[in-house]
Structure 1
C-alpha cells in the first residue's frame, strides 16, 4: 500500500475514540457512484462471499480511496497483511440474530490488533439490523463464542449507517449480526487486515495529548463494566500509550499509571 498524505490519516481525537470504544465509524466516506455500483453488484453476485474481494474490482477500488487507505494506514501501517474477507448477507425478514462473539481471538499480543473494516454500500437503518457492538469490550479478550450466553448488554450499539460508511472494528470487540425486520436484503462487506509493522504512531499524532483528546478519555467509562470500570479505563490508557508511541503519556483515572510508577 502506497503512503497517503497526512491529512488522510486519522486524527488524534478519532484514534482516541477508537482506543476507548474499540471501533470507529467513518460516515459516508465513499462516493455515491461507487456505492451504487457496489450495491448493484452485491445484489447480482452469485459467488461465494469469501471470494468477493478477489472477484470484485469495485470493492477493491473503494479500498484504494485515499480517505479509506488513510484510515487503514492509521490502524495497521503501510503494508497491511490480508487475513480474510467476506460479504455478509442478511435476507429480508430474517428474524434470527447471531450470538455475541469476538472474531477468533486466540492472541498473545498485549496491545497489537487486527482491524476489520465493515463497508455498507446502502443505507442500513436500525430496523435492518446492522452489526451490534459492545463499546469498550475490545480489551476483554475472550475465545470466539464463549460469550454467546450473553444478550442485550447495557451500552451496546448498532452500527446504524448511511450508504458509503465504513466501520473499523478492533478484532477483539464483542459483536453480532442482528435480525433484519425490513423487506430488503442487507449487505455488509468485511475485510480483515493484520498489521505489517508495529502499530505505534501510525496516525496523525498532532495533539495526541491535547485537552480535546483527554476529554475523550474522561468519558472512557462503560456501564457494562460495573465495578471494574476504572480497571477497564486503565487498560485503555495503556493502549493509548502503545498507539501514540509515548510510554509516558497518561490518560488514566487520576494519573494512576504515573502514580504506580508505570
Structure 2
C-alpha cells in the first residue's frame, strides 16, 4: 500500500480532488473494457453488468477475488489513497457505470453528488475510473477546483454554465480521479466518434479520518508558521501557501471563507488542532472567558 504524502494531501484539501494518471496497467484496462463496456452505448447496458453491492458493504468484501473491480481497488497506489483519506474499514455507498455514446448534443449540468451536507468531522470520496484514453473531444469530467468547500444542494448549481478556473479532466487509459463528495462537477458532452466510459465508486468512512496518510514529511511547526496572505506557495509541501490559494472563480471575501473550511479539513486529516491559515479560524475560536 502506498499512502499519500503531505503534498498530495495538501492538493486534495485545496482543490477537492486528486488525479492519478495512467494508474491502471494496460492489461487491467483491457479486462475492464471487456467486462463492463464492450458493445455498450449507454448507461443501462454497463450498469446491468456490474456486480450487486449493497450499501454499507465493506470495500474488502464488495467484489469477488476474480472480478476485475477487485483487482482495481487492490492496486497499491489506489488502496493507499483510499486508506489515506478514509482510514481503515471503509464501506461502499454505491457504484455505477457512466457510458456516453458518440456525437452527443448536450452536456450534463453542473452538480455535486450530495444534498446539503452539514458534516464537518467526516467526508466521503468518489473514485472515478477511466479505462480508456479520454481526449478533449470525448468530453471527460469537468470539475470546479476548490468548490468542495461550498455546501450546496445537489442540482442548485445547475444554472451555472462556465466558471473561471474550471478544469476539463482528460488523460490516458487507466487514469483515476479521487473526488471529495462535495466537489462540483459535470460530464462533458462526447463529441467524438467513440464511446466514452467511466466507472464511479463512492466510499464512506467508518471511523476517524485522522492521520492515516504518510505523515513522515509533515512538520507541524513549519506548517503553522504564518506567512503573508496571498504569497505564492514555495513548494508542494508548503501547507500554508497551498491552502491560502485563491481559486479564480471565488471573490476575495468569500475565498476567505474557503480558507477557513480548508483549515478545518486539514485539521481533520492531520490531527493538528493548532493549525490555522493566516489565523482566520483561530480568530473565530478566540472566546476568552
In structure 2, the gaps of 5 or more residues are 53-62, 224-236
My pick for the range that moved more, 60-69 or 80-89, is 60-69
Distance 1:53 1:135, change over 3 A: farther
Please state how far the C-alpha of 1:260 moved relative to its aligned partner. Answer: 4.6
Task: Give matches, 1:1-262, under 5 Å.
Answer: 4=1, 8-44=2-38, 47=45, 49=47, 52-54=50-52, 57-208=67-218, 209=220, 212-214=237-239, 216-217=241-242, 220-227=245-252, 228-250=254-276, 252=277, 254-261=278-285
Structure 1 or 2, whichever has the larger Rg, is 2
Please state how far the C-alpha of 1:172 moved relative to its aligned partner. Answer: 0.4
Distance 1:216 1:72, change over 3 A: farther
My pick for the range that moved more, 56-65 or 146-155, is 56-65
* Aligned mates of 1:75, 1:116 — CA distance in 2: 11
* Aligned mates of 2:279, 2:27 — CA distance in 1: 48
* Aligned mates of 1:215, 1:45 — CA distance in 2: 49
Contact kept? 2:25, 2:174, Cα under 8 Å: yes
My pick for the range that moved more, 58-67 or 179-188, is 58-67
Contact kept? 1:135, 1:156, Cα under 8 Å: yes
Distance 1:120 1:216, change over 3 A: farther
Deviation by residue 1:109-159 (Cα, 9 ceiling, x = unmatched): 114111000001011111111110100010111111011111101111111
Contact kept? 1:89, 1:185, Cα under 8 Å: yes
Please state how far the C-alpha of 1:58 moved relative to its aligned partner. Answer: 1.0
Q: Report the TM-score when normalising by structure 2.
A: 0.82
- Counterpart secondary structure, 1:146: coil
Contact kept? 2:37, 2:46, Cα under 8 Å: no
Contact kept? 2:46, 2:99, Cα under 8 Å: no
* Aligned mates of 2:257, 2:67 — CA distance in 1: 45
Please state how far the C-alpha of 1:261 moved relative to its aligned partner. Answer: 4.6
Aligned residues: 254
Distance 1:73 1:197, change over 3 A: same
* Structure ranking higher in helix proportion: 1
In structure 1, the gaps of 5 or more residues are none
Q: Report the TM-score when normalising by structure 1.
A: 0.90
